[in-house]
Amino acid sequence: MIYLLLGWVLYYTLHSLLATVWVKNAVAARWPATPRFYRLAYNQLSVWLFLLLLRYQISLPDKLVMPSGLVLTISGYALMGGGLLLAILALRGYSLGEFAGWAYLRQGAAAADNGLSTKGFNGVVRHPLYLAILVGLGGFFLTAPTLAHLVFVGCAAAYVLVGTRLEERKLLQRFGVTYARYRQQVPRLMPRLSRQPKA
- Tell me what pLDDT residue 39 has: 83
Q: Which residues contact residue 24 at a Cβ distance below 8 angstroms, ignoring those fewer than 6 apart?
A: 35, 38
Local confidence pLDDT in tens for the 199 residues of the chain: 899 999 999 999 999 888 888 888 888 888 887 777 888 888 899 999 999 999 999 999 888 998 889 999 999 999 999 999 999 988 887 766 666 665 666 655 555 556 777 888 888 999 999 999 999 999 999 999 999 999 999 999 999 999 899 889 888 988 899 999 999 999 999 888 765 544 4
| Contact criterion met (CB below 8 Å) for 49 and 17 | no
- Tell me what pLDDT residue 83 has: 95
- Tell me what pLDDT residue 104 has: 64
pLDDT in tens, 26-81: 888 888 877 778 888 888 999 999 999 999 999 998 889 988 899 999 999 999 99
Rg (CA), the chain: 19
Tell me which H or E stretch contains 29. Answer: helix 21-30
pTM above 0.75, yes or no: yes
| Contact criterion met (CB below 8 Å) for 77 and 143 | yes
- Tell me what pLDDT residue 19 has: 85
Percentages (nearest 5) of helix, strand, coil residues in the chain: 75, 0, 25
